[in-house]
Structure 1
Amino acid sequence: MALSLFKTAEITPPADIEAASLRSDRFRLEREVDWQRLDAIVTALEKNAPRRISDDDLLELPVLYRKTASSLAVARETSLDAATLSYLEALVRRAWFQIYGPRIGLFGWLRRFFNGGWSQAVREIWLDICIAFAVMLAGLLVGWILVGRDESWFYSLVPGGMAQGRVPGADPEILRETIATEQSAEGLGVFAASLFSNNTGVSILAFALGFAFGIPTLLLLVYNMALLGAMLWVFADAGLGWEFGAWLSVHGTTEIGAILLAGAAGLHVGRTMAFPGDRSILAAMQSAGVRAAQVMVGCTIMLIVAGLLEGYARQLVGGTGSRYAIGIAMLVFWIGYFTLVRKPRERET
């Protein structure tokens, strides 16, 4: 009995394989003409040669795509051979991209991004921007108050390499020299590049930490602004608060704005994770991630502008009024862009 079963097991698999092979061949022969026709059309479109496609084939493209997609579904259900499945999956994917895929190139994407895409993404996270702004303002006040009450806090908040002689009790003339202009622009390109690298790192970190429900992002924003508050107290105590504000405003309205948006983007992702609402966490994260990514692309652009302002304009423009004029002009520009530039309505088809 055992021998009989063993012999049957040896005979049955080849028969099953032969039957499956015949079924797969018949399935392919019945539909292969449509597949080849769709493949030729898609190949012509991929090669950017639509003139090679006849009008009849072009009109039949959606129909051929649906037939091939249906063939793929049947092939999966009936467990046809792997080669057929692989071919159909690749063909359907290529055809989908040509029919429904995006038709916008790099310059088109940039035009859409600057023509309302970026500003809309920023407006959509307005609540997170308000939270981040309040936290940053609180951090500025904390740094000012702590150093005002105990100057030793300055050395805890401000790294020694960043202070560069700008410490509590420093001579006002020494402090004034640290915010003076340069004689020429020679070497400022390297300086601007280093500043851009540093500020970009802070912004990326503020965004990345948002995935921990936004809490580390808020702490980072508080610390960075506490550092600024401590430095501002030093200059104000020396009677140079107005001059320091002018020196800072040249690039600060753009740089701090970029850090604010980056922190808000990270907070938006973290807040969405914590409170997804009626949606699943993955669905909520997907929409929040796309929105936050758009904001971060814009933050990079802002940081490039801030690096140029910090590396050139701030070092070459010496008048307090001129510096404030640059800083205020940039602030008005960014606020105007984010509030006034609206994304054009999509044309209905």
Structure 2
Amino acid sequence: MKAPIISSWLRKGEVEAPPDIESASLRSDRFRLEREGDWKRLEDILKRIERGSLRRVSDEDLLALPTLYRTAASSLAVARETSLDRSTLDYLEALVQRAWFQVYGPRQGLFAWMRSFLAGGWSRAIREIWLDLCIALFMMICGTVVGWLLVAQDKEWYYRLVPTQFMDTRVPGATREQLLESLATKDGAGGLSGFAAMLFSNNAGIAILAFALGFAFGIPSLMLLIHNMAVLGAMLWLFSGQDLTFEFVAWLSVHGTTELFAILLAGAAGLHIGRSMAFPGNRSILAAASESGKRGALVMVGVVIMLVVAAILEAFPRQLIGGLEDRFLIGGTMLVLWLAYFFAYRPPSSGAEA
């Protein structure tokens, strides 16, 4: 059955294409010739951009880039629909992918983003949520006072507030010597790296939860801050009863000025999302949540960095340095550095963080 067809292809020792293949080839050639000018122009622009020669790309070409990309994407859709030749499809797919990256893709690599983040993006995002920071700080102070007053009224509240891992000798009725021993340094740094990892995991859980609960109009985030600081208030009451307030604050300040600051930022970021959803203004709730969520996420990236620093401080300097002045010096220095970076360091905005 196929012999006559095959024999008809052979004329004068040459192989001729069947009519349907020849027609498809003509359609593909015509399709490519009609649009190839735009494809070549797009490819030329992309080559110059990819080589880092953006200055050599004219304003006219930059303005034409989105249009040329859409034209190539439309050509690709037509080529797929009409089943044009494989080489044309492969060429268009590669071209459209490269063009998409330049039109819609990220403008920065990881290291460039991190550089812009640390060089002002993070601190700028924190200053933009200043009102939420003030509210969160007020609630943390209130939580500390509430914890103190509850335990001062009834010692049983201490066991309800303070986690069991803190109840070694640090319980109501402990002697001054026992409490002072709990603040003492450790001999050597063995095993402290594992301790640092445990502390980071615990503190990160609190911070992430404070941020994640912000979607419920920020109320759960504030409640978590109050509860977390009530623990601190209860322990302050315990140590102050034995005239060890300064010793306890010095012991806590080594890592606490970083750790508590990080938890404050996480709670404020969560509250920022909740407050934006509750009072979206002229925006829709989804738009308000999206905008505040991006800003909050930027703050949370920095919170993770702070918690890593806090875990290292808590596991090593706090456990190995015992002098009252030395501990206050470390904690105070860290607090001054964070405050200076967040509120005094104000590089000009370049728009790269967006």
* TM norm structure 1: 0.81
Change over 3 Å in CA distance of 1:236–1:50 after alignment to 2: closer
**118-127 or 33-42, which deviates more:** 33-42
Aligned partner of 2:346 among 336, 339, 342: 342
C-alpha change, 1:89 and 1:205, in structure 2 (3 Å) is: farther
CA distance in 1, matches of 2:64, 2:340: 48
Unaligned residue ranges in structure 1 (runs of 5+): 1-21
Q: CA deviation at 1:63?
A: 3.5
Match of 2:166 in 1: 162
2:277 to 273, 276, 282: 273
Structure-2 residue corresponding to 1:307: 311
1:58–1:38 CA distance, 2 compared to 1 (3 A)? farther
Counterpart-to-counterpart distance in 1, 2:316 and 2:253 = 14
Q: Which residue of 1 aligns with 2:209?
A: 205
Rounded Cα–Cα distance in structure 2 between residues aligned with 1:270 and 1:154: 31
Contact residue 38 and residue 65 of structure 1 kept, 8 A: no
Contact 1:38 1:64 in 2 (8 A): yes
Taking only aligned residues, the RMSD between alpha carbons, in angstroms, comes to 3.5
Please give the per-residue CA displacement for 1:201-220, whole angstroms capped at 9, x wherever unaligned. Answer: 11111111111211111111
Shift of 1:106: 2.5
- Counterparts of 1:68-217 in structure 2, within 5 Å, are 68-70=69-71, 72=73, 81=81, 91-92=95-96, 94-98=98-102, 101-217=105-221
Give 1:67's aligned amino acid: L
Corresponding letter in the other structure for 2:305: I
Moved over 6 A (4+): 22-26, 55-59, 73-76, 86-90
Aligned length: 324
1:62–1:99 CA contact under 8 A, matched in 2: no
**Residue 279 of structure 1 aligns to a residue in which SS?**
coil
**Alpha-carbon distance in structure 1 between the residues aligned to 2:197 and 2:110:** 25
Q: Indicate the residue corresponding to 1:63 in structure 2.
A: 64
Normalization by structure 2: what TM-score? 0.80
Partner of 2:321: 317
Q: Give the share of equivalent positions with the same residue, in percent.
A: 56
Q: How far is 1:222 from its partner?
A: 0.7
Q: Does 1:287 align with 2:288?
A: no
The Cα shift of 1:237 comes to 1.0
8 Å Cα contact 2:39/2:72 also seen in 1: no
Q: Which runs of 5+ in 2 are unaligned?
A: 1-25
Classify the secondary structure of the residue corresponding to 2:131: helix
Q: Is the 8 A contact 2:45 2:61 kept in 1?
A: no
The structural deviation recorded for 1:344 is: 2.0
Q: Distance in 2 between matches of 1:179 and 1:345?
A: 44
> Any conservation in 1 of the 2:136–2:222 contact (CA below 8 Å)?
yes
Tell me the CA shift for residue 64 of structure 1. 5.9
